Structure 1
Amino acid sequence: MKIIEPTESKKSSRTYDAVRTKVIILDAAEEAFANLGYSAARIDVIAKASGYNKSLIYQYFGDKLGLYTEVVKRADQIGEQATGAAITDFLKNEEFIKDPVAFRRFLETITRETYEFLLEHPRYLKILFWEAAEEWKTWNQITYRPDDITQLHELAEAAKKNGIIRQDFDSAMFPILLMNMTTATIQAFSRYGSMLGKLDSPQMREQTIEQIATFIIHGVMEPSLL
């Protein structure tokens, strides 16, 4: 007697395989874009690294730009999951933009979470630096646009109105400062490691996070509140 496998089981198996295949391709693509930049990364190299042919990559992602878009999208979503939980309590209760002590804790928390995420995802950090070197030309073409500045800008505006952020500071610079202080510091360790020590040392990590947070706090908050 022939046993017919339920249609639902077949569909679930195919779905699982497709998801797994996409993950493998995205991993290979992320490594290629991180090591070579968008312009130099080739689809055939990514296909070989992933173990799948180019036609399947085109089927799933359309073209090279579509593949790159999905790499950026996945990294952004992972970043949201990694950093979002730590600052959710602050965002649920916006009273922290009226309380200097709470706002300072917010700056310390977001600095730590951003720094640790980038340190633990070096390929994404490399992609950001490739984009910066190429004047963000590819980044501005992708359909998925990570919005990591709007909410921070709005929070900074509100904190400024409440007298927490210094009045001579442009709140539009707030999210830029947060991101660039962390990315630039991590990148600089490759150059100054002999003087600063090993970045992966727990002690050095804590010291660096503390130094960045202190710099940001003293740069954006009213001196009278420190």
Structure 2
Amino acid sequence: MIRDSVRTKKLLLKAAAEEFAAFGIAGARIDRIAASAGVNKSLIYSYFESKDKLFDTVFSEMTRDSLATVSFDVADLPGYAGRLFDSFEESPDTVRLTTWYQLERPHGVPLHAVVASNASKLHELRAAIAVGDLPGHFEPVEILALVRAVVLAWSTTVPELGPAVPMDRARRRAVIVDAVRRLL
């Protein structure tokens, strides 16, 4: 039987994304990823070398996909916040993977996709502040961090607030967009 390495890698990345989202890096099991993908676990090591490198590949691809679907518009940061919120609502595993990444890799080797994304956004923010399109009361990194925190507010709320959280997605989105508008 001839192996289709592209198809196999896609199956492994999909299974790995689900496993990492559910269990984090430390809790993920190569055996479960291989079983879910329907492949021999030796292929994971053949294609990705290690569980850590498999996670890095999954996270980098997720970052690239997010960048391709959620355009950053320095002239419309509230709109960007709304689009980012929508993407998280449509793909909650993105939030989970990001949370695991932050928890388990606070001082890890920076991933190129993340570094490049942040550098580009910070450059655009710096330029917008310099020409007066954005107020200068926050540094570019502060703006980026605050926008991100506002966008994640509903998905990172403690469960005890659950009954009080607006069930209506449009309302949650509107609050995020308005909060970013007021922030700036």
Question: Considering the TM-score relative to the shorter chain, is it more than 0.5?
Answer: yes
Counterparts in 2 of 1:207 and 1:33: CA distance versus 1, 3 Å = same
Counterpart of 1:188 in structure 2 is 157
- SS of residue matched to 1:110: helix
Aligned to 1:122: 92
- Give CA-to-partner distance per residue, 1:14-71, whole Å, 9 cap, x none: 6xx3222111111111111111110121211211222111111111111112211110
1:63-83 alpha-carbon deviations (Å, 9 max, x no partner)? 112211110122112112211
Distance change (3 Å), C-alpha of 1:78 and 1:212 = same
2:28 aligns with one of 41, 56, 79 = 41
2:121 to 152, 165, 185: 152
* TM-score, normalised via structure 2 length: 0.86
CA, structure 1 residues 69+132, in 2 after alignment: closer, same or farther (shift >3 Å)?
closer
**Partner amino acid, structure 2, of 1:153:** L
State the alpha-carbon separation in 2 of the partners of residues 177 and 148 from structure 1.
16
Query: Following the alignment from structure 2 to structure 1, what is the Cα–Cα distance between the partners of residues 100 and 160?
Result: 17
How far apart are the structure 2 equivalents of 1:19 and 1:159? Answer: 41
Who is 1:50 aligned against?
37
Identity %: 25
Q: Matched residues in 2 for 1:65 and 1:24: separation?
A: 17
**Counterpart-to-counterpart distance in 2, 1:205 and 1:25:** 32
Matches within 5 A, 1:1-226: 17-84=4-71, 103=75, 106-134=76-104, 136-137=106-107, 140-141=108-109, 143-146=111-114, 147-188=116-157, 190-198=159-167, 204-220=168-184
Question: Is the 8 Å Cα contact of residues 12 and 33 (structure 2) preserved in structure 1?
Answer: yes
**Distance (whole Å) between structure 2 residues aligned to residue 114 and residue 184 of structure 1:** 12
* TM-score where L is the length of structure 1: 0.71
In structure 2, relative to structure 1, the CA distance for the partners of 1:145 and 1:82 (3 Å cut) is closer
Task: After TM superposition, give the deviation of residue 110 of structure 1 in Å.
Answer: 0.7
| Cα pair distance change 1:39/1:76, threshold 3 Å | same
Runs ≥4 residues deviating over 6 A:
none
Q: CA deviation at 1:172?
A: 2.1
Structure 1 spans left out of the alignment, 5+ residues? 1-12, 91-96, 98-102, 199-203, 221-226
1:135 Cα deviation from its structure 2 partner: 5.4
The CA distance in 1 between the partners of 2:135 and 2:161, in whole Å, is 32
Displacement of 1:134 after TM fit? 3.2
Counterpart of 1:109, as a letter, is G
What is the RMSD of the two structures over their aligned residues, measured on CA atoms? Answer: 2.2
Mind listing any 5+ residue stretches in structure 2 that lack a counterpart? none
Answer whether contact 1:65 1:142 (CA < 8 A) is retained.
no
Separation of aligned partners in 1, 2:111 and 2:156: 27
The answer to whether the Cα contact below 8 Å between 2:82 and 2:151 also exists between their aligned partners in 1 is: no
Relative contact order, CA 8 A, sep 6+: which one is greater? 2
